[in-house]
Structure formats: structure tokens, C-alpha cells
Amino acid sequence: MDLRDRITTALKEAMKDKDKARLATLRLINAAIKDLDIARRGADGEAGVTDADILAILAKMTKQRQESVRAYEEGGRLDLAEREAQEIAVIEEFLPRQLSEKEVEAAVDSAITEVGASSIRDMGKIMGHLKDQYAGQMDFGAVGPKVKARLG
């Protein structure tokens, strides 16, 4: 079952269970996928949204909510922070398992070798390779400095 089908199935289950919070988050996910679908259809005909695209959408949604949680906590709005945290939990159900620190370092080393990187100028190639291979499995904001340290 592909990712889109899993999300649709979860959406239907949330409707049956009358789980309003979960349903709202799943509808947001579905809307983001459909938006990308429409954008792609207009651009180049029949190209649909792939699982990698959906993982990128989910990762972006998670990051946005994590930033919101931080902002709400700093502003003393714990009720809103809690709601955002619940949305993160629903979104993360569809993301693959996050890599451990050692696995991230091994992936970075492997990417450097596979790309044949020799200097900091190759950082874009390495990050692109990592994003293709490990979408949704690592925080690329934290990986960038590690790549830079290895190359520099």
C-alpha cells in the first residue's frame, strides 16, 4: 500500500471513529498532497505525486509544527503548543523511522564517497543525494553542518 492510500485509509478510519483532531490533521495532509497534484498536473501533463513527494510534504509539515510549538511555548500558549504536538504525532505516523546519530553519520560518509566529493563545493550534490535516499528520515538542517565539517 503506497503512502497516499495509507493516508486515505487513516482518514476514513478517523471519520468512522469521530476523532475530530486526527481527522483535521489528516485533511490538512490530504489538502497539501492535492495542492501539489494540481500544481504538477498544470506544469507537465500526467506527472503525479510520488511517495518521495509526500514524504517531503510530511517532513515540511512536521518542521512547521515544531517551530509553532516552540513559538507557542515561548509565548505561554501551552494549549496551542499541545494541539500542534498532537498534529506532529499524527503526521509522524506516516514518516519512516528517524535515523540514529550513527546512521546519519554513516549515510553522510556514504554519500560523500558515492558522489565523489572532494571540497565544500560538492555540498549541494551530497545534500541532494541524501535527500533522495533518506527523505523524511533525518533532519537536513542538522545534517548540513556535519557535511560541511567533513568536507572542510
CA 26 – CA 135 distance, rounded (Å): 20
Q: Give the pLDDT of residue 18.
A: 95
Per-residue confidence (pLDDT) for residue 20, from 0 to 100: 94
Fold annotation for 3-92: Hypothetical Protein Yqey; Chain: A; domain1 (1.10.1510)
Candidates 11, 6, 40; CA nearest to 24 is: 11
Do the domains 3-92 and 101-151 sit in the same CATH topology, yes or no?
no
Instruction: Using 50 as the pLDDT threshold, list the residues of the chain that sit under it.
Output: none
The pLDDT value recorded for residue 44 is: 58
Domain segments of the chain as ranges: 3-92, 101-151
Say if residues 138 and 114 touch (Cβ distance below 8 Å): no
pLDDT at 91: 94
SS3 content of the chain, % helix, strand, coil (to 5): 80, 0, 20
pLDDT of 47: 63
Q: How many C-alpha atoms does 37 have within 13 Å on its Cβ side?
A: 11
- ∠ CA 141-85-80, nearest 5°, is 115
The predicted model scores a pTM of: 0.74
DSSP one-letter string for 80-124:
HHHHHHHHHHHHHTTSPPPPPHHHHHHHHHHHHHHHT--SGGGHH
CATH code assigned to 101-151: 1.10.10.410
